Structure 1
Amino acid sequence: MLRRIAGHGSLSTTQRYLRPRIREITAAEAALSAHFSALRAPRSLPGPVAVTR
């Protein structure tokens, strides 16, 4: 059923997506951690702006 919904010609193609490799899981975990770390990082305020007349 999933093979047909995804439009794959063979079941082996669908099975690739059903069994992620440990390397892919680890990479996804690292990317997600980096994303959340960037969101939690303190942001610096902009420096003073010179006003000229």
Structure 2
Amino acid sequence: MPYHQVTSIYTPYNGYYPLAPWAGLAVLAGYAVVSLAVAAILLHRRDA
């Protein structure tokens, strides 16, 4: 959906990248670490 306050199309095809590649990898790794930590905590609580 186009918005009147946006003056350009922000897509990777047009050269717009919201994060640097290493920052994106760090975000992905952070999500993985948080997911594994939550899974480990839940497994520890439920496994008697």
Q: Tell me the TM-score normalized by structure 2.
A: 0.49
Q: Tell me the TM-score normalized by structure 1.
A: 0.45
Higher relative contact order (CA 8 A, sep 6+): 1
Higher Rg: 1
